[in-house]
């Protein structure tokens, strides 16, 4: 029997876990309020959903949660929580240099540990496009990562979040938690453009639901107002964006508003993809890159790619075509587990060798 590696992608709003075979589990975890329960939550995920691990592999974005005054403190907190949760299994932390670090080294290198999940995913996905240019378009609930690759390795202009924001490689727009007011300044209403309230009244998930992309879930209440994720409630939340409730607007007006919000979200990602595409072409030649769509918002990534002319890209790939069934929403956790597993295999299963 091979080594059992359990990978974690520890974010600010969710914890995603996966083993190297593709078994996954995700839990909502608002780090900014529940951080003190991180260690027990990690241990519970492993105990309840996976075989006892021989090794823990971790990547994170939780260090940016506002419960931590600095990223370095956030990294150290997460590292300590992981080690406390798994005292019998060695833990390794992915760096944006493409290496794993021990807990002590991770705390000494917080800028390389912080927000490294995209790099782990790109490093693993790169195996599927071993030659030439490619772009990984990974869309989650909060952000869109646009990661250039060449000959199977990530070649991002930026490594830190701010560098990637400047390069167009990180877009703070996802398919779940993104506030509507961060996407649009106006929406069409009664043959005019109506300014929207700068309040957290609705999220892009409401727009997707009203537009018919998502399905209702009356058990889900992780919404702007805490009410269930139903079409009626989502229409009411969208109405609040123009300081109304749904009794003051027609269904047609609210549907038009939802469509406009979705279209603007697509436009934001398209503009960033243009920027990354131009940079990749200038540095590695103008061969149309392959494009890989992944994440819980892979459908959104596909829509962004479809906004380009066919000549802009080569092969179109979906992460489910490259990975076991069910790993799309936990792709970064799976990637870091797979990378750790394979490096242990290369080192004859010596979990302390790297």
Helices 298-306 & 251-284, crossing angle to 10 degrees? 70
- What's the angle, vertex CA 8, arms to CA 352 and CA 38, rounded to 5? 105
Tokens for 338, please give them: 């797979």
Report phi then psi at 77, rounded to 5: -65, -45
What letter does residue 297 receive in the DSSP assignment?
A: T
* Band (348; pLDDT cuts 50, 70, 90): very low
Please enumerate in sequence order all residues whose Cβ is within 8 A of that of 29, keeping only pairs 6 or more positions apart, or say none.
11, 13, 14, 15, 38, 41
Tens digits of residue pLDDT in 34-77 = 999 999 999 999 999 999 999 999 999 999 999 999 999 999 99
Tens digits of residue pLDDT in 179-206 = 999 999 999 999 999 999 999 999 999 9
Tokens for 233, please give them: 């409630």
- Look at the block and give the residue holding tokens 């992608």: 9
Tens digits of residue pLDDT in 6-39 = 999 999 999 999 999 999 999 999 999 999 999 9
pLDDT at 229 over 80: yes
Q: In CATH, what number does 131-314 get?
A: 3.30.420.190
Total-model pTM: 0.92
The fold of 5-119+324-346 is: Nucleotidyltransferase; domain 5 (3.30.420)
- Look at the block and give the residue holding tokens 């930026």: 158
Instruction: Give yes or no on whether 5-119+324-346 and 131-314 have one common fold.
Output: yes
Which sequence spans correspond to the domains of the chain?
5-119+324-346, 131-314
- Look at the block and give the residue holding tokens 């639901």: 209
CA pseudo-torsion sign 263, 267, 268, 270 = positive
């Amino acid at each position: 029997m091979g080594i059992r590696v359990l990978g974690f992608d520890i974010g600010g709003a969710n914890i995603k876990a996966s083993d190297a075979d593709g078994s996954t589990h995700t839990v909502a975890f608002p780090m900014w309020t529940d951080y003190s329960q991180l260690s027990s939550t990690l241990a519970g995920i492993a105990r309840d959903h996976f075989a006892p691990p021989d090794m823990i592999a971790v990547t994170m974005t939780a260090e940016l949660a506002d419960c931590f005054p600095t990223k370095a403190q956030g990294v150290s907190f997460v590292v300590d929580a992981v080690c406390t949760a798994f005292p019998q299994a060695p833990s390794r932390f992915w760096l944006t240099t493409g290496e794993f670090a021990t807990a002590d080294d991770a705390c000494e290198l917080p800028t390389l540990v912080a927000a490294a999940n995209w790099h782990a995913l790109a490093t693993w996905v790169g195996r599927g496009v071993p030659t030439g240019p490619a772009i990984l378009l990974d869309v989650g609930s909060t952000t869109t990562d646009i990661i250039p690759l060449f000959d199977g390795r990530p070649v991002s202009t930026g490594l830190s979040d701010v560098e990637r924001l400047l390069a167009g490689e990180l877009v703070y727009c996802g398919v779940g938690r993104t506030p509507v007011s961060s996407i649009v300044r106006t929406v069409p209403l009664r043959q005019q453009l109506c300014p929207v309230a700068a309040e957290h009244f609705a999220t892009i998930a409401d727009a997707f639901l009203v537009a018919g992309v998502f399905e209702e879930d009356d058990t889900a209440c992780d919404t702007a107002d805490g009410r269930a994720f139903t079409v009626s409630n989502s229409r009411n939340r969208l109405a609040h964006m123009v300081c109304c409730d749904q009794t003051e607007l027609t269904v047609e007006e609210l549907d038009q508003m939802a469509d406009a919000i979705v279209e603007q979200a697509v436009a934001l990602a398209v503009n960033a993809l243009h920027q990354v595409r131009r940079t990749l072409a200038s540095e590695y030649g103008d061969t149309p890159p392959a494009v890989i769509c992944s994440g819980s918002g892979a459908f959104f990534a596909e829509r962004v790619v479809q906004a380009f002319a066919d000549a802009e890209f080569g092969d179109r790939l979906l992460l489910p075509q490259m990975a076991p069934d069910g790993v799309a929403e936990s792709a970064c956790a799976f990637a870091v587990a797979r990378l750790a597993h394979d490096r242990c295999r290369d080192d004859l299963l010596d979990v302390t060798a790297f």
